[in-house]
Structure 1
Amino acid sequence: MRIAAISDIHGNLAALDAVLADIARRGADVVVNLGDLLSGPLQPCATAERLMALDLPTVAGNHERQVLTHAPARMGASDRFASERVTPAQRAWMATLPATLRLGDDVLLVHGTPTSDLTGWLETVTPAGMRPATHAEVLERAGDARAGLLLCGHTHVPRALRLDDGRLVVNPGSVGLQAYDDPEPWPHRMENSTPHARYALVERSGTAWSVSHIAVVYDWDGAAALAERHGAPDWAHALRTGRMPDRDTLTAGR
């Protein structure tokens, strides 16, 4: 069984199309989507149309929940941009997405962890910033989730960790945004340091899972120009470089 895992598209339709084309070229039995689909100053409606037509196994991310439940005054710029543009039909589709989803008996899809869409599974945020999570932290977050393959997103960082009990936790990275900053729970930033769209191919041979992280070229300059036209220069910088702008106060509208 070969699974292509995508996550954190954030309305970046150009990146999504490039990733889907690469998946089609390499081949996969199924494509799964781990949430944070539309929020961002790019193309939320067109991205929703594309995803609705594909009808992929998909879980909701924290941004779907926030767009659906938060008052506009509570929303960040990315959620507000999407919320003001998505159609009633697209909003209704978002509302159908589950928080977790099983694929067969051995695969669990989540956005953050099995119990939270705001907690990174393979990264830990401290007052000093973001760092890779320890084995003990990943194991604790896994809890009693019964699956050999645990797929997550949220932090945008491509990473995998095999637990001592044999379970494999995989974050495919972000299709649509390779850098962001966040003030919660402490100020931190994520930077993948290149603008390539990310996804993962995960394959089972016998009872063991293997993972390949893929970086895909797409028109990131065009995506950045669109972000600039929509009043998001920090997004534009992140899209072009995979890094956040070098200044004291950063915001990517996330």
Structure 2
Amino acid sequence: MKIAALSDIHGNLAALDAVLDDAHRQGADVIVNLGDIFSGALYPCQTADRLKPLGLPTIRGNHERQLLSNDLSRMGLSDRFARGSLRDDQLAWIRDLPATLKVVEDVLLVHGTPESDLSYFLDTVTEHGCRVATVDEVESRAGNTNATLILCGHTHLQRSMRLDDGRLIVNPGSVGLQAYEDSLPFPHRMEMGSPHARYALVTRTAPGWDVDFRAVEYDWHEAANVAALNGRPDWETALRTGYC
């Protein structure tokens, strides 16, 4: 079984199409979507129209949860832009997305961790910035989750860790946005360092799961130009460079 894990598309339709094409060329048996699908400065409505007919196993991220709020005044720029672009039928589809999902009995999809769509699984934020999480930290976040493979997103960074009990946690990185800044719980930056669209191929083998992190070219300059036209210089820089 070869799983193409996609996460954090953020309305970047061109990046999504490039990743879907690559996943098909690589012979993926199933493509899964780990949430944060629409919010941003690009093409939320068109991204929903592209994805909905595909029927991919899909969960919601924190941004799906946030943009369904009726209080627009409390939304960030990315959620407000998506909410203003999405149609009622698309919002209804989003409301039906689960927070977590088992694709098969031993493969679990989560956005952040099994318990939270806002928590980082494989990274830890301190007052000094963000660092790779320790095995003890990741084991605590995984808890008693019964899965040999846990696929997570949220941080936009490609990362994997195998626990002592054999469970593998994989973050495929972000399809649509390769850098961002956040102020909580402490100010930090998440940067992939290049503008390529990212995803992961995870293959079941006799010894266990094998991970292939993918970086795919697409027209990121055009995406950056759209972000600039939509008043998001932060997105323009991230899309063009992979840095904040």
Q: TM above 0.5, one fold?
A: yes
1:230 equivalent in structure 2: 230
SS, match of residue 85 in structure 2: coil
Sequence identity percentage: 62
2:15 equivalent in structure 1: 15
Q: TM-score, normalised by structure 2?
A: 0.99
Query: Which sections of structure 1, spanning at least 5 residues, go unmatched?
Result: 245-254
Q: Whole-Å Cα distance in 1 between the matches of residues 228 and 127 of structure 2?
A: 31
Q: Whole-Å Cα distance in 2 between the matches of residues 12 and 104 of structure 1?
A: 28
Q: Whole-Å Cα distance in 2 between the matches of residues 111 and 89 of structure 1?
A: 23
Q: Whole-Å Cα distance in 2 between the matches of residues 97 and 133 of structure 1?
A: 28
Q: Whole-Å Cα distance in 2 between the matches of residues 79 and 21 of structure 1?
A: 27
1:252 equivalent in structure 2: none
1:180 equivalent in structure 2: 180
Q: Whole-Å Cα distance in 2 between the matches of residues 46 and 201 of structure 1?
A: 25
1:237-252 to structure 2, matched below 5 A, reads 237-244=237-244
1:17-166 to structure 2, matched below 5 A, reads 17-69=17-69, 71-166=71-166
Q: Whole-Å Cα distance in 2 between the matches of residues 46 and 78 of structure 1?
A: 15
**Aligned residue pairs, count:** 244
Q: Whole-Å Cα distance in 2 between the matches of residues 57 and 222 of structure 1?
A: 29
Q: Whole-Å Cα distance in 1 between the matches of residues 86 and 190 of structure 2?
A: 27
Aligned-residue Cα RMSD (Å) equals 0.7
**Mean Cα deviation higher: 203-212 or 161-170:** 203-212
Query: Which sections of structure 2, spanning at least 5 residues, go unmatched?
Result: none
Amino acid at match of 1:125: V
Q: Per-residue CA shift, 1:49-108, capped at 9, x if unaligned?
A: 111011100010000000012511111100000011100000000001000000111100
1:194 equivalent in structure 2: 194
Q: Whole-Å Cα distance in 2 between the matches of residues 171 and 194 of structure 1?
A: 17
Q: Whole-Å Cα distance in 1 between the matches of residues 192 and 3 of structure 2?
A: 23
Runs of 4+ that moved beyond 4 A: none
Q: Whole-Å Cα distance in 2 between the matches of residues 8 and 194 of structure 1?
A: 16
SS, match of residue 68 in structure 2: helix
Q: TM-score, normalised by structure 1?
A: 0.95
